[in-house]
């Protein structure tokens, strides 16, 4: 069985058992008469125990010197989501995407990278008109007759992007100049449409040659991948006492799906309908957390009961003003976002980072705090 498929099945089984224990109790009796099926499910349950519900991808993003936080998050998120787009592909990891993007654009160096992944100004290669610029001697045209060119942080040819374009940040657009879209598109292109295991060096090399038919290019990217594979992304959190308990509780949920309305003091729960974005992502059929649900779960571990609403949580505890900056925060403090009304909350880890359940279509993860929307913090401990 494909390991990614097995883990997806395991997650589904675990969620269904939580929601319908009687139904699954009856199924267990039935399985007594189906030894072959029982063996498969036992294997799946073992995977759940060992993996803890993880999806088999690399660790949640931490900090890598010289690599913008948004770009790192884009690489990691793409490596997590590719299994749903290319189920026959195994072994995708953030370091592969980072290795390519370092060569192609130095991680969008010199550009402004917005929290949603939009990169400005756009990264544009020269028109491939056969003039010899960039080594191009053969004109390549778009369907409309214009000359193709490499675009975005992964330098997709406009003709290639049309075949692999993805919406990596769930905003309804597929933009090669967006870090999340481009990273997921690159993952899809590397995986191809058939079975592929990128943990196998020969298959990884073949995928990179398909991306750029140059042995020198492949050698350089492989060296980058090896260097990134050696990076320890586990976050270093300087916390003790109650703050450590809160942070450890939240960190134990890394990778759990976002679900609007999800999360209780006991853990992840079934999401609810919102009549909009969450419904389009099927949050009401997911078991997970929204931002305030993750916070109330973590703080329940130290005996603090919080409302399931970020605006209500903003009214609790000692205020930490936006003007005092991130230097005023301590690990375990709550951080809030508000371009208007309070709409998001996370738990501060230190070094400008937080753990949070960001939005529909994502999962509990680490993020760099967006100072443009940061409105202040609250200290409850």
Which of 71-80, 112-121, 266-275, 363-372 shows the lowest per-residue confidence on average (mean pLDDT)? 363-372
The last residue of one of the domains, among 209, 229, 249, is 229
Q: Evaluate whether residue 59 is within a structural domain.
A: no
Q: Count of alpha carbons within 13 Å of 278, Cβ hemisphere only? A: 22
The CATH number for 366's domain is 3.90.1720.10
Do 319 and 365 lie in a common domain? yes
Q: Evaluate whether residue 57 is within a structural domain.
A: no
Q: Evaluate whether residue 82 is within a structural domain.
A: yes
The last residue of one of the domains, among 205, 229, 253, is 229
Do 140 and 269 lie in a common domain? no
Q: Quote the CA–CA distance of 223 and 345 in Å, as a whole number.
A: 39
Do 276 and 327 lie in a common domain? yes
Q: Quote the CA–CA distance of 98 and 250 in Å, as a whole number.
A: 27
Do 219 and 99 lie in a common domain? yes
Environment class of 168 (CB within 10 Å of its CB; exposed 0-12, middle 13-18, buried 19+) = buried
Do 264 and 303 lie in a common domain? yes
Percent with pLDDT over 90 in the chain: 61
Q: Between 168 and 237, name the one with better pLDDT.
A: 168
Which residues, in sequence order, are CB contacts of 85 under 8 Å at separation 6+?
166, 184, 187, 188, 191
Which residues, in sequence order, are CB contacts of 98 under 8 Å at separation 6+?
64, 67, 71, 72, 75, 107, 224, 225, 228
Q: Evaluate whether residue 370 is within a structural domain.
A: yes
Do 44 and 153 lie in a common domain? no
Q: Evaluate whether residue 215 is within a structural domain.
A: yes
Do 112 and 161 lie in a common domain? yes
Do 212 and 311 lie in a common domain? no
Which of 26-35, 242-251, 316-325 shows the lowest per-residue confidence on average (mean pLDDT)? 26-35
Do 88 and 217 lie in a common domain? yes
Q: Is the pLDDT of residue 346 over 90?
A: yes
Q: pLDDT class for 82, splitting at 50, 70, 90?
A: very high
Q: Is the pLDDT of residue 118 over 60?
A: yes
Which domain covers residue 123, as residue numbers?
Answer: 69-229
Q: pLDDT class for 339, splitting at 50, 70, 90?
A: confident
Mean pLDDT, residues 178-205 taken together:
96
Say whether pTM exceeds 0.85: no
Mean pLDDT, residues 277-281 taken together:
92
Q: What is the CA radius of gyration of the chain?
A: 22
The last residue of one of the domains, among 207, 229, 251, is 229
What is the count of structural domains for the chain? 3
Q: pLDDT class for 317, splitting at 50, 70, 90?
A: very high
Q: Evaluate whether residue 322 is within a structural domain.
A: yes
Q: Evaluate whether residue 262 is within a structural domain.
A: yes
Q: Evaluate whether residue 56 is within a structural domain.
A: no
Do 304 and 350 lie in a common domain? yes
Do 208 and 160 lie in a common domain? yes
Do 16 and 100 lie in a common domain? no
């Amino acid at each position: 069985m494909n390991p990614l498929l097995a883990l997806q099945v395991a997650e589904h089984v675990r969620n269904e058992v939580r929601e319908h224990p009687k139904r699954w109790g009856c199924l267990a009796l039935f399985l007594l008469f189906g030894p072959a099926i029982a063996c498969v499910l036992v294997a799946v349950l073992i995977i759940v125990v060992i993996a803890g519900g993880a999806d088999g991808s690399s660790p949640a993003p931490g900090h890598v010197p010289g690599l913008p936080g948004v770009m790192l998050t884009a690489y990691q998120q793409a490596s997590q989501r590719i299994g749903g787009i290319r189920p026959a592909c195994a072994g995708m990891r953030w370091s592969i995407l980072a290795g390519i993007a370092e060569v192609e654009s130095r991680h969008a160096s010199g550009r402004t990278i917005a929290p949603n992944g939009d990169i400005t100004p756009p990264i544009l290669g020269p028109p491939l008109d056969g003039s010899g610029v960039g080594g191009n001697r053969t004109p390549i045209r778009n369907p409309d007759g214009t000359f193709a060119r490499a675009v975005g942080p992964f330098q997709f040819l406009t003709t290639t992007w049309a075949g692999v374009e993805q919406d990596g940040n769930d905003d309804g657009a597929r933009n090669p100049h967006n870090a999340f879209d481009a990273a997921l598109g690159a993952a899809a292109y590397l995986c191809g449409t058939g079975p592929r295991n990128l943990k196998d060096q020969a298959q990884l090399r073949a995928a990179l040659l398909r991306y750029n038919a140059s042995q020198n290019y492949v050698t350089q990217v492989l060296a980058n991948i090896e260097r990134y594979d050696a990076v320890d992304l586990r976050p270093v959190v300087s916390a003790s006492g109650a703050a450590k308990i809160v942070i450890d509780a939240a960190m134990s949920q890394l990778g759990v799906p976002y679900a609007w309305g999800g999360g209780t003091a006991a853990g992840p729960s079934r999401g609810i309908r919102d009549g909009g974005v969450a419904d389009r992502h099927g949050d009401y059929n997911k078991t997970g957390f929204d931002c305030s649900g993750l916070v109330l779960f973590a703080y329940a571990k130290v005996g603090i009961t919080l409302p399931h609403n970020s605006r209500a949580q903003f009214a609790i505890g000692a205020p930490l003003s936006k003007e005092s900056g991130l230097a005023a925060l301590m690990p375990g403090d709550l951080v809030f976002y508000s371009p208007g009304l309070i709409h998001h909350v996370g738990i501060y880890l230190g070094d400008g980072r937080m753990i949070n359940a960001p939005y529909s279509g994502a999962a509990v993860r680490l993020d760099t705090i967006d100072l443009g929307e940061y409105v202040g913090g609250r200290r409850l401990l």
